[in-house]
């Protein structure tokens, strides 16, 4: 169970995920959150970079010790985190987002958040996990190559005519409070039994034709939902197929979703 959360803030770090790893090696324990005003070497999924410019976005990571969780279930923590971010943004900013499987929170078809979960093992078991979350908050524009698929909380608030200021500190705390709730429900069963129905309610690709892009092949399918491990269930030629989070991207046929 995740109980107490302890917050540490730095103006600038290379990557909050990397700082959590250092802290775990120094003996720090579950519940430590490291947040930073900016990251100089933010990391994205599949070896990509994650831009986190000065004081515009949230960069935050937590240290978890799910010692009894089977290694193959660790990736599902990303799905749990996506639910927490969606929930916290709704509560704090009034924005009702959807989830693009597995872990992107999207508004108006554009991504507002990225999540990267990493694990270290000892004696063949989970030693610790760091789950890192990046949220675009005050960003007014994005680099040309991602502008078509990226948005921020401020841009969405403006678009929806909602006149509130989103505090990065308050939203960060709301995210981890919400994460605590979802994560403990996840740990009860070690899978998404308690959370699947809610996740599917917000699943942006549900019922949509999507393109599955794996390393060696790419094909079209209909996204049906997820299973209790957080894997995507798709239909191809009247047959169900399970897509696991890994080296696979799922794209809409006509755009990012
Ligand atoms: C993605 O590719 O969508 C995942 C991006 C994850 C970015 C966050 S920002 C906080 C934490 N620290 C990192 O270096 N990456 C994650």
pLDDT of residue 248 exceeding 70, the answer is no
What is the percent of the chain where pLDDT is above 90? 78
What's the CA gap between 217 and 226, in Å, rounded? Answer: 22
Q: Is the CB of 102 under 6 A from ligand 1?
A: no
Statement: residue 247 has pLDDT above 80: no
Give the residue with greater pLDDT, 250 vs 15: 15
CB 110 within 8 A of CB 150: yes
User: Tens of pLDDT along 189-208?
Assistant: 999 999 999 999 999 889 88
Q: 115 in ligand 1 pocket by Cβ < 6 Å? A: yes
**For the residues of 58-93, what is the DSSP string, one character each?**
EEEEEEE--TTS-GGGTTHHHHHHHHHHHHHHHHHH
Position 253 pLDDT exceeds 80: no
- What per-residue confidence (pLDDT) applies to 137? 97
**Atom 15 of ligand 1, residue of closest alpha carbon:** 43
In this model, does residue 166 exceed pLDDT 60?
yes
Report the DSSP pairing between strands 125-136 and 239-243.
unpaired
Phi, psi of 107 (to 5 degrees): -130, 130
pLDDT tens readout for residues 83-137: 999 999 999 999 999 998 888 899 998 999 999 999 999 999 999 999 999 999 9
pLDDT at 255 over 60: no
Please tell me if the CB atom of residue 13 comes closer than 6 angstroms to any atom of ligand 1: no
| CA distances in angstroms from 16 to 133, 181, 211, 224, 253, listed in the order given | 9, 22, 32, 34, 34
User: Using CA positions, which residue lies closest to atom 3 of ligand 1?
Assistant: 114
Please check whether residue 78 is in contact with residue 117, taking contact to mean a CB–CB distance below 8 angstroms.
yes
State which of 99, 115, 171, 250 you would mutate to test the pocket of ligand 1, scoring each by most atoms of that ligand within 8 A of its C-beta: 115
Average pLDDT of 146-168?
A: 94
Does residue 158 register a pLDDT over 70? Answer: yes
How many whole angstroms from 117 Cα to the centroid of ligand 1? 8
């Amino acid at each position: 169970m995740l109980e107490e959360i302890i917050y540490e803030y730095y103006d600038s770090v290379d990557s909050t995920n990397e700082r959590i790893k250092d802290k775990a090696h120094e003996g720090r324990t579950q519940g430590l959150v490291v947040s930073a005003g900016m990251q100089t070497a933010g990391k994205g999924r599949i070896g990509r970079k994650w831009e986190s410019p000065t004081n515009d976005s949230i960069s935050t990571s937590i240290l978890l010790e799910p010692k009894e969780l089977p290694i193959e279930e660790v990736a599902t923590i990303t799905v749990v985190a996506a639910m927490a971010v969606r929930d916290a943004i709704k509560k704090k900013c009034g924005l009702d987002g959807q989830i693009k499987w597995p872990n992107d929170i999207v508004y108006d078809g554009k991504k507002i958040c990225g999540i990267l979960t990493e694990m270290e093992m000892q004696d063949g078991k989970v030693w610790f996990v760091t789950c890192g979350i990046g949220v675009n908050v005050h960003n007014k524009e994005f680099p040309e190559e991602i502008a078509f698929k990226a948005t921020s909380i401020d841009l969405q608030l403006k678009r929806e005519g909602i006149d509130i200021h989103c505090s990065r500190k308050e939203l960060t705390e709301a995210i981890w409070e919400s994460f605590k709730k979802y994560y403990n429900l996840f740990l009860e069963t070690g899978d998404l039994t308690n959370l699947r129905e809610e996740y599917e309610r917000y699943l942006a690709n549900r019922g949509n034709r999507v393109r599955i892009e794996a390393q060696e092949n790419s094909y079209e399918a209909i996204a049906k939902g997820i299973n209790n491990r957080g894997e995507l269930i798709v239909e191809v030629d009247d047959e169900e197929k399970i897509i696991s989070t890994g080296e696979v991207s799922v794209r809409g046929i006509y755009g990012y979703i």
